[in-house]
Amino acid sequence: MYIFIFFCVIFAGSFILFAFYKAGRGFASPTIECPVCSRNVKLYGNATRCYKCKSKLIKHANGNYIKG
């Protein structure tokens, strides 16, 4: 019985930590191509950095992402 409770607590704790992680990072939008190095980049929010060339990508008003 104690083992079952232990596993339930571990499962619930990991789920809560995952939820906080996702809430903090936001859900990733579909990938776009970096205009500088042509690498596929997942975006979190309106601005992010390319992990290869380190250029900052900002969402423009028309929906395209430009180098900032």
**Number of structural domains the chain divides into:** 1
Q: Cα angle at 26 between 66 and 57, to 5 degrees?
A: 10
Q: Over 70: is that where the pLDDT of 2 sits?
A: yes
Lowest model confidence (mean pLDDT) among 1-5, 16-20, 53-57? 16-20
pLDDT for 48: 79
pTM above 0.85, yes or no: no
- pLDDT tens, position by position, 7-50: 777 777 777 767 666 665 556 667 788 888 888 887 776 777 88
Q: What is the DSSP string of 17-62?
A: HHHHHHHHH-PPPPPEE-TTT--EE---SSEEE-TTT--EEEE-TT
Q: How far apart are CA 30 and CA 10, in angstroms?
A: 32
Residue span of the structural domain in which 51 resides: 2-67
| Cβ(57)–Cβ(43) below 8 Å | yes
